[in-house]
Structure 1
Amino acid sequence: MDRSTTDAFRELYRATYDDLLVFVERRVHLAVADDVVAEVFLTAWRRFADIPAAHDQARAWLFTVAHNVLRNRYRSDDRQQGLALRVVREPATHPGPEADGVAARVDLVRAWQRLSRDDQQVITLTAFEGLTGRQAAQVLGITRPAFSLRLLRARHRLRQHLQAATPAPHRPHPTATPETGASR
């Protein structure tokens, strides 16, 4: 590689490393995330001529490579980790106003875990990674309309799981009075 290409690669690395690392850390154990990102940039170095010149397109290209590296790792290691939300669970010493927030987070985690890996992935690409629909479709190797349909269905399933996890509001039952035995 000549000097200008090396400089362009360094700039691409600086501009995208943190985003790629976060993307990968959401999918694999933190101990292997650096290795996955290193593999992505090794591929980028070897195939630098294939990377689009526009920053947004180059970023999407790198996310596509990361997606493929992760997919290969899942296959070869037979991992079922997929995408997961990591929530620190601290036991509450007393119920307080934050109890509802904790319950909502627990419900969200449970609903998220009930989604398929594919559903988790399409939601994560747009919600957490900030990719456009076009870029996310490119990462997955599908058309923009196909991605939009997958995202719509994944969001619908997440809402269904959340609704199923949310208990119905408590309604007090009438009580009987000792004198009459009738309800008040």
Structure 2
Amino acid sequence: MHSPEQTREQRFADLYDRAYTDVLRFVQRRAGPERAEDIVHEAFLITWRRFDDVPERADDARAWLFGTARNCLLNDQRGQVRRGALEVRLAATTSSSTDAEDDLISRRVDLAAAWRRLRPEDQEVLSLAIWEDLPSPQAGRVLGISSTAYRIRLHRARLSLRRQVETTTSSVQLTEIPATE
């Protein structure tokens, strides 16, 4: 029979093994690869310290970890803002693409531009649904709200993204009209 501390250590090790990759991806999508591992390690350190607060069920523990990682990420972002170190990265595209690739690239650029104009709260709600594939109850727990409130926010965020994409597409089409001489 294991001592309570050994059981705690084994439960933590099991949680780490099951959730580390998901939590790393969660943070990478929000912070980029250069900061993600540090933030995830901070989240797991907090998890170890507060392990008695972690839910027993694996899915609930995963959502709890996402919430902890999100808080660590927000703390990291506040620190970066204070230091003035926020950067925006743009992906380069090749000039040897086909019309279909050009259209796809154009749509991705439109979506990326629309995404940047979304409020951070809307980005977070959409990210939990799309990238983390969390059901409403767990996504609500990550944000500290009810599943109903989460679904309402998700609906509003989707509408907002749709409006932003339409605005981006309209403005791009206007700028593509050649000037008459």
Structure 2 counterpart of 1:108, from 106, 111, 136: 111
- Residue of structure 2 equivalent to 1:21: 24
Kept after mapping to 2: 8 A contact 1:27/1:81: no
More off after superposition, 93-102 vs 151-160: 93-102
- Residue of structure 1 equivalent to 2:39: 36
- Residue of structure 1 equivalent to 2:11: 8
Kept after mapping to 2: 8 A contact 1:28/1:81: no
The answer on 1:160 being equivalent to 2:163 is: yes
Structure 2 counterpart of 1:62, from 45, 65, 70: 65
Letter in 2 for 1:128: W
Kept after mapping to 2: 8 A contact 1:60/1:139: yes
* Aligned-partner Cα distance in 2 for 1:126–1:77: 26
Q: Structure 2 unaligned runs (5+)?
A: 175-181
Larger radius of gyration: 1
> Please, what is the CA RMSD of the aligned residues?
2.3
Structure 1 counterpart of 2:121, from 118, 137, 143: 118
1:123-142 pair list within 5 angstroms:
123-142=126-145
SS of the counterpart of 1:93? coil
Q: Which runs of 4+ in 1 moved over 3 A?
A: 79-82
Same amino acid, percent of matched pairs: 40
Letter in 2 for 1:54: R
More off after superposition, 23-32 vs 123-132: 23-32
1:155 shift after superposition: 0.4
1:158 shift after superposition: 0.4
More off after superposition, 100-109 vs 1-10: 1-10
* Aligned-partner Cα distance in 2 for 1:130–1:81: 27
1:65-84 pair list within 5 angstroms:
65-78=68-81
Give TM-score scaled by structure 1 length: 0.82
* Aligned-partner Cα distance in 2 for 1:147–1:81: 28
Give the direction of change, closer, same or farther, for the CA distance of 1:76–1:88 in structure 2 (3 Å limit).
closer
SS of the counterpart of 2:99? coil
Give TM-score scaled by structure 2 length: 0.84
* Aligned-partner Cα distance in 2 for 1:68–1:56: 19
Kept after mapping to 2: 8 A contact 1:74/1:80: no
Kept after mapping to 2: 8 A contact 1:21/1:34: yes
* Aligned-partner Cα distance in 1 for 2:149–2:90: 31
